Amino acid sequence: MTLFPPEAGTQPDPAPPLVRVRALIAYDGRGYHGFAAQPGVKTVGGTIITTLSRVLRHPVELTCAGRTDTGVHAWGQVVSFDVAEDRFDPDTIVRAGNKLMAPTIVVRSVERAEPGFDARRWAKARTYRYSVVNRSVPDPFLAATAWHVEEELDVRAMQLACDPLIGEHDFSSFCRPPRGTNGGDPPSMVRKLQSAEWRELGDGILRFEVRSSSFCHQMVRSLVGTMVEMGRGRRRAGEMAAILRAESRAAAGHLAPPHGLCLWHVDY
């Protein structure tokens, strides 16, 4: 998606020649109303745009690899934007950007990209991770980035529930219904999952990792919420295929909380 700076028009546009830039961004999604820039609302994308425009002294149009919702984190978010060549200094952008945004938003790296590089359209796959602390006592050091589930979970059942998800399916049962499209056909909810698995990391910490070329809105959180219900014994792992076939959000479980979700990596 392309995001436009709230202060567009208050600074001169960047003078050519321009350099297409690729930046790797990490952020704590708490305190931000999602990624997409919105007037009058504190968002991750809006904060990055404002900061880059200040550092570079010209307006910035930002494209991100994956738009994250309110409260969702990222370790491997990728963004692309143009910089006037005489102002392109990766070290300065990293240092000045982090001075203004850290610790909740961090510029991990900045590099010159190929002409025309687009963080969203050029992405071949995105990997998300969802973390669960499954033990009776919460962990204060993981409370901001993992869902605490006190009941003992049947991890084997949750692992079995992943099998029917692999491959190409209509994931309407796990996606927030799209808004109207002015009478046109609704967007497709068909996605192709390349991998999906639960891992036990020890000390009651579980991680769900899923990889696909793209995801629909709230898809990963819906999958996790449904599989945790299976882990609790409230649903059977064998129901997953039928839930997929139902193509109805009502067939799946509740959404897992946003703070356990992290955009981990983007492949190009």
pLDDT digit string, tens, across residues 230-240: 999 999 999 99
Q: What is the pLDDT of residue 10?
A: 60
The Cα–Cα gap between 190 and 263 comes to 20
Residue 196 predicted with pLDDT over 80: yes
CATH T-level topology, domain 125-267: Alpha-Beta Plaits (3.30.70)
CATH number of 2-112: 3.30.70.580
Instruction: Please answer whether residues 61 and 3 qualify as being in contact, where contact means their C-beta atoms are separated by less than 8 angstroms.
Output: yes
Going from N- to C-terminal start, the domains of the chain cover 2-112, 125-267
* Residues sharing a CB contact under 8 Å with residue 202, sequence separation 6 or more, in sequence order: none
Instruction: Please answer whether residues 84 and 58 qualify as being in contact, where contact means their C-beta atoms are separated by less than 8 angstroms.
Output: yes
For the chain, the first-to-last Cα distance in angstroms comes to: 16
Tell me the C-alpha to C-alpha distance, in Å, between residue 184 and each of 39, 51, 134, 214: 28, 38, 44, 22
Reported confidence tier of residue 6, pLDDT bands at 50, 70, 90: very low
Residue 154 predicted with pLDDT over 50: yes
Query: Is there a cis peptide before residue 12, judged by omega within 30 degrees of 0?
Result: no
Q: pLDDT > 90: what percent of the chain?
A: 90
Task: Tell me the mean pLDDT in the region 170-187.
Answer: 79
Reported confidence tier of residue 127, pLDDT bands at 50, 70, 90: very high
- Angle formed at CA 92 by CA 40 and CA 55, multiple of 5 degrees: 30
Residue 149 predicted with pLDDT over 70: yes
Q: Does 125-267 match 2-112 at the fold level?
A: yes
Q: What is the pLDDT of residue 11?
A: 72
Q: What is the pLDDT of residue 2?
A: 43
Task: Tell me the mean pLDDT in the region 83-97.
Answer: 97
* Residues sharing a CB contact under 8 Å with residue 147, sequence separation 6 or more, in sequence order: 130, 131, 132, 133, 224, 228, 256, 257, 259, 260
Q: What is the pLDDT of residue 253?
A: 96
List, in sequence order, every residue forming a beta bridge with 220; answer none if it has no partner: none
Q: pLDDT > 70: what percent of the chain?
A: 94
Q: What is the pLDDT of residue 176?
A: 85
The Cα–Cα gap between 37 and 35 comes to 6
- The residue with tokens 């909380």 is 257
Residue 186 predicted with pLDDT over 90: no
Q: What is the pLDDT of residue 142?
A: 97
Reported confidence tier of residue 15, pLDDT bands at 50, 70, 90: confident
The Cα–Cα gap between 153 and 257 comes to 17
Reported confidence tier of residue 151, pLDDT bands at 50, 70, 90: very high
Q: What is the pLDDT of residue 9?
A: 47
Task: Tell me the mean pLDDT in the region 51-74.
Answer: 97
Instruction: Please answer whether residues 4 and 63 qualify as being in contact, where contact means their C-beta atoms are separated by less than 8 angstroms.
Output: no
Catalytic sites, residue numbers:
69
